[in-house]
Amino acid sequence: MTAEEFVAELDARNQSVLKRLEPEATLTPEVSGSLNVMNLLKVALKNEIEATEIASRWLVTTDDVTVKMALARQAGDEAKHYRMIAGRLSELGFDAESFNPIASGYGPLFGYLDGLRTTVERVAAGQFTREAIAVVKNRQFIEFCERAGDRATATLYRDVIEPDERFHQELGRSLLRRLATTPETQDLARRAAARTLDLAEELQASALKTAGIHHAPGC
């Protein structure tokens, strides 16, 4: 299979699983707890730190200049998202300055991504798949904000954050076309994408069970 064909196939596979992450039909009845924009933005801060740090760790451990600069761009964007979300939280009356989203440690998806050793797996998991998840989740979050009457947060996500996450996914797509050129690299990429989706589903299910969260934005 050519890299082009492989990426198209992986995309189709990802999209079919991502339909399951659209929770309305299956998960809504289980929702409990306080679900509001402020609490979801606190979850978003943690996601943005984790995405910033993963991209930064990977950029110093690759010699591939194209990959290095793609990760640098992504790290900068995720840090920008953090600052904008913290600013929005302040407007909502929350003291984001003295809040440390990673005080209780990093999440399981971060641990998995941090353990990946090859560039093809990293790009398949961290950019091509994680960012595809982000696009779906952010679309849901924008709708949630609109239903909650929070236009400012919806606009921040629609105009800035969501287009950036979409761009990160496109970076993943173009890098994967360059890297997934052999049966071996394609197999590594396929497994990394599948594991990332599994973890995202598990995380979503446990966030729902423990905190009633099912609209947390992605990164």
Q: Which residues bind Fe ion (CB under 5 A)?
A: 48, 78, 81, 165, 168, 219
Residue with Cβ nearer Fe ion (167 or 212) = 167
Question: Cα-Cα-Cα-Cα dihedral of 166, 167, 168, 173, to 10°?
Answer: 90
Residue 80 exposed, middle or buried by CB count within 10 Å (0-12, 13-18, 19+): middle
SS3 call for 213: coil
Element (H, E) at 39: helix 37-59
Q: Which is nearer to Fe ion, 48 or 150 (CB)?
A: 48
Nearer to Fe ion among residue 75 and residue 180 (C-beta) = 75
Instruction: Evaluate whether 115 touches 182 at the Cβ level (below 8 Å).
Output: no
Q: Shortest Cβ distance from residue 85 to Fe ion (Å)?
A: 9
Contact between 38 and 92 (Cβ < 8 Å): yes
User: Quick one: 48 or 53, whose CB is closer to Fe ion?
Assistant: 48
Least CB distance to Fe ion at residue 189 (A)? 18
What is the DSSP code (8-state) at residue 172?
H
**Which lies closer to Fe ion via its Cβ, residue 17 or residue 70?**
70
Is residue 211 packed enough to be buried (19+ CB in 10 Å), middle (13-18) or exposed (0-12)?
A: middle
Q: Are 216 and 43 in contact (CB under 8 A)?
A: yes
* Coil, strand or helix at 13: helix
CB of 95 to Fe ion, least distance (A): 22
CB of 86 to Fe ion, least distance (A): 13
CB of 47 to Fe ion, least distance (A): 7
> For 60, phi and psi rounded to 5 degrees?
-85, -10
Closest to Fe ion by CB, 81 vs 195, is 81
Q: Shortest Cβ distance from residue 74 to Fe ion (Å)?
A: 6
